[in-house]
Amino acid sequence: KERPEWYNTLTTNCTTNVVKHVRAFGVDLRYSWKVLLSGYIARYVYDLGGLDTRLSFEELKKRGYVNPRAQAIGDDPDFSRKIREGLPIPQ
C-alpha cells in the first residue's frame, strides 16, 4: 500500500477486515453486529457460504483448531502449508 492503514475499533479491525477479504471471493458479506462482536464472525461467514459448508460448522471449527499442530511444527519454513494438511479445500 502507498499509505498505512490504521487500526480503528469500529471501522478497521480484525473482523471488519475479514469482511473485505471475504468479499474479494465474491461472497456478499454485509456488515452486521456479528462483525463488530468478533466471536460471531466465523459462524456468520459460514452461514453466508463464505466457508466450506460440506462439513458442519462444528466439525469445520474442530478441524480448524491448529494449536497443537502449530506448536509441533514450530519454525518450519513450510509452516503455513503444514497447518492446513487434512483440512477441506474450499469449493
Domain boundaries, the chain: 14-82
The answer on pLDDT for 51 being more than 80 is yes
The answer on pLDDT for 64 being more than 80 is yes
Q: Residue 63: which H helix or E strand, with range?
A: helix 57-64
Confidence (pLDDT) at 74: 93
Highest mean pLDDT, choosing among 4-8, 21-25, 59-63: 59-63
Split at pLDDT 50, 70, 90, the class of 58 is very high
Instruction: Give me the sign of the Cα torsion angle 70, 81, 50, 5.
Output: positive
